[in-house]
């Protein structure tokens, strides 16, 4: 890759440390299940126990915080810029220090809400920052780093968490935001925000610049709904963002140890299920690193969603007819699930940075983050309860159906944006409004 891209790659990777932190705190819940559950002894002398009901709240409060912060993040992006809004989001990752000082249920709830608040801000700001400092030829790859870094964070905690105490793990995670703030403070601001402030120079040469017309138009949430092209873009991004999380990815990682079956193979057991899922997802992301810029966004999302739907359907069939002799097949399917997930995981973030004019991109990003948080909240709140009180096949059938809907929606409404500038994408949106759905699909395949 050209050396001209080096500053963009460095900035994108450092910015993505915020999503790595979000991933760490997501899997913290999975690691803490047995350490905090009232069905297990308090071996680490934490001082309190959680019921299944309280565990479901502990898990979904992160999503509630995620749901609460995107609008604020949008306002902050316009007021103080993308860079400083990202730096501010990391401050909320430090709040779990409260849980270290006062280990009780209430401080745990506050800490989970706070890291969710930080995660919501990061996922709102990050796609904009990266897309605005990236050349169109590598934009999809760099934006996809956000979800990849989150997977790395998930996996790190799943590996390390069981080996150390919950207190030591929490101390480590509380220290990471300070490292991020120290490193990212040296990165430049988004050129779009500098343009608003009247700046004329920045360190990135290969970027997509803000058009004068967009700058003069201003920005507000009403423009998402009053402009037909923006409405269509919002519709596409909202649906695929909501379905991404409603499809079960977060709850399968967090509640894997309480969901998947025992086998006759020692390494294939529920305690390792979350690690298997994350290893598969990361391996798939590494192998398919450039796939969104080669295969295209629409094709990748369609292939990923239908494959995941079929895999989840097969897992649900196992739970209808469970057998210890064939339970290992569930873990084979989990690996297939992880390898196939890259499109669902990355494409919503890529489209978020591509479909909207720059003047309303922070508003669209915040609304999409709310949609993702809502999907995660629903699945995390009810997954464990459904697994406990119904047949496990029910939840997998539901997840399979949601991913099938994602495939059908992609084929009908999502068009290709690969290697197109923002201006070209806006022209495609305008043209699609004047065409029938059939013609639109034909044109952008």
Please report, for the domain that includes residue 318, its CATH number. 1.20.1250.20
pLDDT tens for residues 321-357?
998 889 999 999 999 999 999 888 888 878 877 788 7
Confidence of residue 136 (pLDDT cuts 50, 70, 90): low
Domain presence at residue 445? no
Domain match, 175 and 232 both: no
Domain match, 30 and 129 both: yes
Residue 50 phi/psi, 5° resolution?
A: -120, 135
Domain match, 240 and 181 both: no
Domain match, 289 and 156 both: no
Domain match, 121 and 264 both: no
pLDDT of residue 89: 92
Q: If DSSP states are collapsed to H, E and C, what string results for the chain?
A: CCHHHHHHHHHHHHHCHHHHHHHHHHHHHHHHHHHHECCCCCCCCCCCCECHHHHHHHHHHHHHHHHHCHHHHHHHHHHHCHHHHHHHHHHHCCCCHHHHHCCCHHHHHHHHHHHHHHHHHHHHHHHHHHHHHCCCCCHHHHHHHHHHHHHHHHHHHHHHHHHCCHHHHHHHHHHHHHHHHHHHCCCCCCHHHHHHCCCCCCCCCCCCCCCHHHHHHCCCCHHHHHCHHHHHHHHHHHHHHHHHHHCCHHHHHHCHHHHCCCCCCCCCCHHHHHHHHHHHHHHHHHHCCCHHHHCCHHHHHHHHHHHHHHHHHHHHHHHHCCCHHHCHHHHHHHHHHHHHCHHHHHHHHHHHCCCCCHHHHHHHHHHHHHHHHHHHHHHHHHHHHHHHHCCCHHHHHHHHHHHHHHHHHHHHHCCCCCCCCHHHHHHHHHHHHCCCHHHHHHHHC
Confidence of residue 197 (pLDDT cuts 50, 70, 90): low
User: Is 47 a residue whose pLDDT tops 50?
Assistant: yes
The mean pLDDT of 191-220, rounded to a whole number, is 52
Burial of 63 (0-12, 13-18, 19+ CB in 10 A): buried
pLDDT of residue 288: 67
Domain presence at residue 438? no
Domain presence at residue 390? yes
Domain match, 172 and 233 both: no
Domain match, 182 and 247 both: no
Domain match, 132 and 273 both: no
Half-sphere exposure of 253 (CA within 13 A, CB side): 31
User: Is 284 a residue whose pLDDT tops 60?
Assistant: yes
Domain match, 181 and 223 both: no
Last residue of a domain, one of 186, 202, 231: 186
The total number of structural domains that make up the chain: 2
Domain presence at residue 346? yes
pLDDT tens for residues 297-328?
888 999 999 999 999 999 999 999 998 889 99
User: Is 216 a residue whose pLDDT tops 60?
Assistant: no
pLDDT of residue 219: 61
Please give the residue range of the domain that contains residue 411: 219-432
The mean pLDDT of 146-160, rounded to a whole number, is 85
Averaged pLDDT of the chain: 83
Domain match, 128 and 255 both: no
Domain match, 380 and 300 both: yes
Confidence of residue 200 (pLDDT cuts 50, 70, 90): very low
The mean pLDDT of 410-436, rounded to a whole number, is 76
């Amino acid at each position: 890759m050209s050396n001209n891209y080096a500053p963009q790659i460095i900035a994108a990777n450092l910015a993505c440390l915020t999503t790595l932190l979000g991933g760490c705190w997501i899997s913290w819940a999975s690691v803490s299940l047995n350490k905090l559950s009232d069905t297990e002894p308090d071996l680490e002398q934490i001082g309190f126990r959680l019921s299944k009901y309280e565990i479901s709240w502990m898990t979904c409060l992160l999503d509630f915080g995620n749901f609460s912060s995107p609008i604020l993040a949008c306002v902050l992006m316009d007021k103080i810029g993308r860079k400083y809004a990202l730096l501010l989001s990391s401050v909320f990752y430090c709040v779990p220090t409260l849980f270290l000082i006062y280990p009780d249920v209430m401080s745990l709830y506050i800490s989970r809400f706070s890291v969710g608040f930080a995660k919501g801000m990061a996922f709102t700001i990050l796609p904009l920052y990266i897309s605005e400092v990236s050349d169109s030829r590598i934009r999809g790859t760099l934006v996809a780093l956000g979800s990849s870094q989150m997977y790395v964070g998930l996996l790190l905690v799943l590996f390390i968490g069981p080996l150390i105490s919950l207190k030591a793990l929490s101390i480590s995670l509380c220290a990471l935001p300070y490292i991020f703030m120290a490193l990212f403070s040296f990165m430049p601001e988004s050129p779009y925000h500098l343009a608003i402030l009247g700046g004329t120079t920045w360190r990135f040469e290969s970027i997509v610049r803000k058009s004068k017309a967009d700058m003069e138009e201003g920005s507000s949430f009403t423009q998402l709904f009053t402009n037909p092209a923006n409405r269509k873009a919002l519709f596409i991004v909202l649906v695929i963002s909501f379905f991404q999380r409603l499809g079960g990815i977060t709850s399968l990682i967090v509640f894997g140890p309480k969901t998947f079956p025992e086998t006759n193979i020692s390494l294939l057991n529920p305690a390792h299920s979350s690690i298997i899922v994350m290893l598969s997802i990361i391996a798939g992301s590494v192998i398919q690193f450039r796939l969104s810029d080669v295969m295209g966004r629409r094709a990748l999302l369609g292939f990923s969603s239908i494959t995941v739907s079929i895999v989840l359907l097969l897992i649900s069939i196992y739970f209808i007819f469970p057998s210890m002799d064939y339970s290992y097949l569930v873990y084979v399917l989990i690996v297939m699930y992880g390898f196939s997930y890259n499109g669902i995981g990355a494409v919503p973030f890529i489209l978020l940075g591509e479909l909207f004019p720059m003047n309303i991109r922070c508003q669209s990003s915040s609304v999409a983050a709310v949609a993702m948080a809502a999907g995660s909240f629903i699945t995390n709140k009810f997954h464990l309860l459904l697994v406990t009180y119904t047949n496990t096949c029910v939840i997998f059938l539901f997840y399979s159906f949601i991913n099938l809907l994602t495939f059908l929606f992609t084929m009908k409404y999502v068009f290709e944006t690969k290697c197109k500038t923002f201006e070209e994408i806006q022209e495609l949106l305008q043209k699609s409004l004047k065409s029938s759905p059939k013609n639109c699909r034909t044109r952008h395949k």
